[in-house]
Amino acid sequence: LKFVHILGVPFVHTNQKDFIATLEERIDKQEKTFVVTANPEIVMHSLKDQPYKKLLAKATYITADGIGIVKAAAIIGEPLPERVSGYDVMLDLLESANKTHARVFFLGASEAVLQATVKKAKTDYPGIKVVGSQNGFFDWNDHQLPQQIQNMKPDIVFVALGFPRQEQWIGTHIDQFDKGVFIGIGGSFDVFSG
Ligand code: UDP
């Protein structure tokens, strides 16, 4: 896949459909994957915050989440096909997991939103295997959570901690995991369950 650099951030040159196919292939091959769905706010933050920029450098793919990024790419003469948002990727990955009976872990949001999200996901996508969930208000110094996730061997981990926490959490722990697509999806659980 090709990349388009915007203010130092390498965006993957792909559309929604092809990107999902790429992720499905990586899930199939058990290749660990860190996905950042980046909006202009994330790009601006990476300019000011060096540690955050270092975390972004660990990402396998950074997608253009927002029309602002797609427009910026057009302006610099390296157009991106379309917006690839966290929410849309989540829905398509659930659809795909439903068919393949993939193992899914839900991380983030309030306990009420998380429970509603898990319930709706199980109802709408009965083929998925929910291997665990954890609300987004936990102690980051407690090593139990990454260990629990590693033990459950999820194929997909949805991380809905909001920006920049989700990239910080995935970037900090990604080396500890053997496989799985880890994707930061902001407030998607609130939208999905709402
Ligand atoms: N969130 C969380 N842990 C936190 C802070 C926020 O899980 O410590 C969740 C919050 O409940 C919501 C999502 O992250 O579901 C997005 O939060 P917010 O709107 O603050 O983030 P942003 O829109 O800036 O990404």
For residue 73, the enclosing domain spans 2-193
The predicted structure's pLDDT at residue 183: 98
How far apart are the two ends of the chain, measured CA to CA in Å?
A: 35
Ligand 1 pocket, residue 68 CB under 6 Å: no
Cα(71) to ligand 1 centroid in Å equals: 26
Q: What pTM did the predictor assign?
A: 0.97
Secondary element (H or E) of residue 142: none
pLDDT band, residue 100 (cuts 50/70/90): very high
Which tens digits make up the pLDDT trace of 122-132?
A: 999 999 999 99
Place of tokens 């994707």: 183
Ligand 1 pocket, residue 136 CB under 6 Å: yes
Which tens digits make up the pLDDT trace of 30-72?
A: 999 999 999 999 999 999 999 999 999 999 999 999 999 999 9
Ligand 1 pocket, residue 154 CB under 6 Å: no
**Burial bucket for residue 165 (CB in 10 Å: 0-12, 13-18, 19+):** middle
Ligand 1 pocket, residue 137 CB under 6 Å: yes
The predicted structure's pLDDT at residue 101: 98
Query: CATH number, domain at 156?
Result: 3.40.50
The predicted structure's pLDDT at residue 105: 98
Distance CA 164, CA 169 (A): 9
Q: Indicate the number of domains in the chain.
A: 1
The predicted structure's pLDDT at residue 39: 95
The predicted structure's pLDDT at residue 160: 98
Is the ipTM here above 0.85?
yes
